[in-house]
Structure 1
Amino acid sequence: MGERIPIAINGRFVGQRITGVQRVARELTCEIDRMLGEGDDRFRVRLICEPDADLQGMDLSHIDVVEAPGTHGWMWEQTVLPRAARGSILLCLGNTAPLLSLLFQQPCGLMIHDLSYRKFPSAYRLRYRLFHASLLPVLLARARPIFTVSKTEEEVLRRLAPKLGSDLTVAQNGGWRGNRAPQTAEDAVRPPRNYALYVGSLSLRKNFAGLRDVAIRLASEDDLDFVFVGSAGRILTPVVRDIPEHVRHRIHFVGQIEDPAKLGEFYKSARCLVFPSFYEASAIPPLEAMHFGCPVVTSHLPSMIERCGDAAEYCDPYDVESIIASVRRILYDPSRAAELVRLGYERNQRFSWRTQAQTILDAISAAHAAEALGGNSRESVGLPS
């Protein structure tokens, strides 16, 4: 066995609020740690993060955690991280990478989760859109290998950068990690008795306005509560939460839930998950719901069909009547609900964090071998004007 390949994981995500991207980065880091402990000796891995980073729940035993002091947030990633990661392949799991590392050709593997800010610019604040629009050409030209989370998103990236070739790899997100099974917690937020559920950001891109209207209709006409789990981050355009007085007691905004035990209780008790997003790459909540036997209503989008297969009830996200009709098929047809539960259990087994982590490490190993043989010329990737 030759010398182990040094990998430095960009740990900026550890200090961020846990939404989809941060959840993926945490799960993959934990899975890589387990793989190292189970005998994958190809790599020597460090997690480089800001001082006082919150590693609660990660329980890393085989990845060295290195705190790199300096500034914070984006400036830390751009200025402190490149120096701390010197001599290693820098693995960035959260959509961005340090410009210094890219421009000076430090080996840098990058996961691009989605390009939703391009398709739904109104959902994001202007500063966020401008930053990512200026960074994307550099990422596509300089980072190698690049990972994305679905074939649907791969097609978008290949249209933007046709020369990526084998440097772009698809690695679908996992779902609920098996050892995160919920346990009854004394401080758990208690869900209502009869409700539909949404889990995700309160975002225009996630169709919040449509979901709000669906929740109001279901509360008014079907005597069904509706629970929103999630929040609106600083990068998102604020949404309007106006709920009529007569159903306000039936529509619950419980905020972000990061405790798996609490989140699992909401999935397990819900009549269905309602997830009619306008744009997704590799959504996590539908697979989590399937793990708990919660039927799923989601958008009839290529990425969601790729993710959910025949294990979901599909709707037109632009049509509130279509969303409601799909929910009612589950509410009032027990055989259809039971069929979706069965298919959901089967579908959930197809995706795992282990498979995603294995795909990423194999691609890094192959890129490292090609670099050693002089097979990686790092030529610029042409972008269409």
Structure 2
Amino acid sequence: MNQIASSPAEIVINGRFLMQPVTGVQRVARELTCALDRLVAEESLPVALRLVCEPEAELDDLGLRVTQVERAASRWGRKLGGHAWEQLVLPGHVRGGHLLCLGNTAPFASLHARQGVTVMIHDLSYRQFPLAYRLHYRLGHRIMLPSLLRRAQTILTVSEREKAMLAALRPEARGRIRVAQNGGWGRAAPMAEAVTAGGDAPEPGYMLFVGSLSRRKNIHGVLAVAVRLAREDGLRTLIVGGGSDILSPIAGEVPADVAHLVRFAGPVTGLDALGQLYRNAGCVLFPSFYEASALPPIEAMHFGCPVVVSAIPALTERCGTAAVYCDPHDVDDMVAAVRRVLADPAPLAAKGLLHAAHWTWRDQAVRVLDAVLGPEVMEAQQKARRSAEAPAGEAPGMDLMLAGEPQQAPCPRSTEGTVSNRIPTLSGTDCERA
């Protein structure tokens, strides 16, 4: 600890996520990397950040200010990418820094070496919903997880629910598991700025789903609700998201009589375009069977869009009393929830705006730095900096408390005032049957 306190600590960020398709995990990694960069720059923290990535990685949109970027190529004259790059190339570029891995995996060589490794394990969905994922993905993570739990110096996860599940797998790791909930809306256009989401975007007032087309996300339930509301209420639905090579394929068709009201938009990776879709939606339906720290509900709240989410522990922890809850197994309950919200959206939208403001990437970055360096180290560095900056005879200010717990949204377990108070216990079999 004294060594860290006397000289700047170096955190080496594993940049493998920069070469992956942008889904939830990659969005978190990108936003958190930016937030760490801003935090260190704006607070003049004694931390050196180095982002090690593949040579072809594009990161101009990150706008990094103080983070050193190192493009690492294979020394064997052969291009390596993905898992091979992470396992074989990255370890040789850590050079004594503390390796921060934000995407569920880490190099085995670094885990087994005498160096600090912090890994963020976002969720264990492949264990809870095995049929939603392809075999190679499930096997890879099942092989890696024991090493992560046993050898990582610190394990970050994104909800208390996930922490409990990880600790149940390896109880002796409980003291090394830290929770850092995801932020909300990030580096996009200001909320008041209108942008065009595409010439074929539907008229405002539609129901919106944002997420991967996965069994875990209850995409079949979303389609059932969309078809019913189209037939009975004439409501339009926009489904944003796509599949991937790690997800099992989804079979689902929209009946011809409502095909003009239910539309698949595919992935929308531009944040400005995605923000416009949230802004114009009448509500977001997010009836997932399993989540850890979902982004779409909080993003929708940021744009004043009311949300209907499934009554599962991670989403009650994330959304508090700012959402209407539904039973993801019950189409009638989901339809009733959407109708209730659309009949009187203003109160829930106003509550969501206030709630979304509590979830920031800066708070998550603070928690990550505390986890990597230790709160006592950061507190000592902050006290020293405040004392040096304070005028003679004046008490140092309290501008940033990195060692403390940053204020975040309350996490009530009650779903009072919602459509459904049922919080079902879900199994993989149940979800595949739903």
- TM-score, length-scaled by structure 2: 0.82
What is the alpha-carbon distance in structure 2 between the residues aligned to residue 65 and residue 178 of structure 1?
A: 20
2: distance between equivalents of 1:165 and 1:324? 40
1:85 to 85, 88, 94: 94
- 1:196 maps to 207
**Partner of residue 355, structure 1:** 363
Q: What do residues 205-256 of structure 1 show as CA deviations (whole Å, max 9, x unaligned)?
A: 0001111111111111110110011111110001113111111111111111
Partner of 1:380: none
- In 1, the alpha carbon distance for the partners of 2:159 and 2:200 equals 34
**CA displacement, residues 19-63 of structure 1 (integer Å, 9 cap, x when unaligned):** 000000000000011112113422111000001202142111110
| SS of corresponding position for 1:57 | helix
Q: Secondary structure at the match of 2:43?
A: coil
Instruction: Provide the C-alpha distance between the structure 2 equivalents of 1:116 and 1:128, rounded to a whole number of angstroms.
Output: 11
Match of 2:295 in 1: 284
Retained in 2: the 8 A contact 1:188–1:261? Answer: no
Find the counterpart in structure 1 of residue 134 from structure 2. Answer: 125
Counting only pairs closer than 5 Å after superposition, residues 103-252 of structure 1 correspond to structure 2 as: 103-177=112-186, 180-181=189-190, 183-185=193-195, 188=198, 190-193=200-203, 194-252=205-263
* Deviates most, 49-58 or 27-36: 49-58
Deviation at 1:130, TM superposition (A): 0.8
Alpha-carbon distance between aligned partners in 2 of 1:145 and 1:134, rounded to the nearest angstrom: 19
Counterpart Cα distance in 2 of 1:220 and 1:192: 17
Q: Report SS of the residue matched to 1:7.
A: strand
For the Cα contact (< 8 Å) 1:191–1:269, is it kept in 2?
no
The match for 1:344 is 352
Larger radius of gyration: 2
In structure 1, C-alpha distance between the alignment counterparts of 2:376 and 2:136, rounded to whole Å: 35
Show structure 1 runs of 5+ residues with no match: 371-385
2:197 and 2:274 in contact (8 A); partners too: no
Query: Offset of 1:148 from its aligned partner?
Result: 0.5
CA shift in 2, pair 1:267/1:190, >3 Å: farther
1:308-319 matches, within 5 Å, as: 308-319=319-330
What corresponds to 2:334 in structure 1?
323
Aligned partner letter, 2:352? G
Contact kept? 1:6, 1:89, Cα under 8 Å: yes
User: What does residue 382 of structure 1 align with?
Assistant: none
Q: Secondary structure at the match of 2:59?
A: coil
- Distance change >3 Å, CA 208–CA 186, structure 1 → 2: closer
Which contiguous aligned blocks of 4+ residues in structure 1 show a shift greater than 3 angstroms?
182-190, 367-370
CA RMSD of superposed structures (Å): 1.7
Amino acid at match of 2:177: L
Find 2:66's aligned residue among 62, 66, 83. 62
C-alpha distance in 2 between matches for 1:186 and 1:301: 34
Separation in structure 1 between the aligned mates of residue 260 and residue 44 of structure 2, nearest angstrom: 52
Letter in 2 for 1:2: S
Cα 1:189–1:35 change in 2 (3 A) is farther
Deviates more, 1:183-192 or 1:243-252: 183-192
Contact 2:159 2:180 in 1 (8 A): yes
Aligned counterpart in structure 1 of residue 31 of structure 2, from 14, 21, 27: 27
Letter in 1 for 2:51: L
Letter of the 1:41 partner, please give it: L
CA shift in 2, pair 1:106/1:19, >3 Å: same
Give me the whole-angstrom Cα distance separating, in 1, the residues matched to 2:257 and 2:37.
Answer: 50
**Deviation of 1:109 (Å):** 0.5
Secondary structure of 2:368 counterpart: helix
Shift of 1:10: 0.3
Equivalent residues of 1:105, 1:142 under 8 A apart? no
Q: How has the CA–CA distance of structure 1 residues 78 and 3 changed in structure 2, closer, same or farther, with 3 Å as cutoff?
A: same
> Deviation at 1:369?
6.2
Does the CA-based 8 Å contact 2:188-2:271 persist in structure 1?
A: no
Query: Partners in 1 of 2:200 and 2:194 — Cα distance?
Result: 10
The CA deviation string for residues 339-361 of structure 1, in whole angstroms up to 9 with x for no partner, is 11111012112211000000000
TM-score by structure 1 length? Answer: 0.92
1:242-290: CA deviation from partner (whole Å, max 9, x where unpaired): 1111111111111111111100110001010000000000000000000
Q: Secondary structure at the match of 1:66?
A: strand
**Residue 260 (structure 1) aligned with residue 274 (structure 2):** no
Q: 1:184: how far off? A: 3.8
Mapped pair 1:98 → 2:102: no
Q: Which amino acid aligns with 1:240?
A: A
Matched residues in 2 for 1:187 and 1:282: separation? 26
- In the alignment, residue 17 of structure 1 is paired with which amino acid? P
- Number of aligned residue pairs: give it: 367
Structure 2 Cα separation of the partners of residues 185 and 355 of structure 1 = 28
Contact 1:202 1:239 in 2 (8 A): yes
Conserved in 2, the CA contact under 8 Å of 1:145 and 1:367? no
Amino acid at match of 1:192: P
- How far apart, CA to CA, are the structure 2 residues paired with 1:96 and 1:261? 30
SS at match of 2:36: helix
What CA distance in whole angstroms lies between the structure 2 residues aligned with 1:256 and 1:293? 22
Query: Secondary structure at 2:260's aligned position in 1?
Result: helix
Tell me which moved more, 36-45 or 181-190: 181-190
Cα distance in 2 for residues equivalent to 1:209 and 1:217:
12
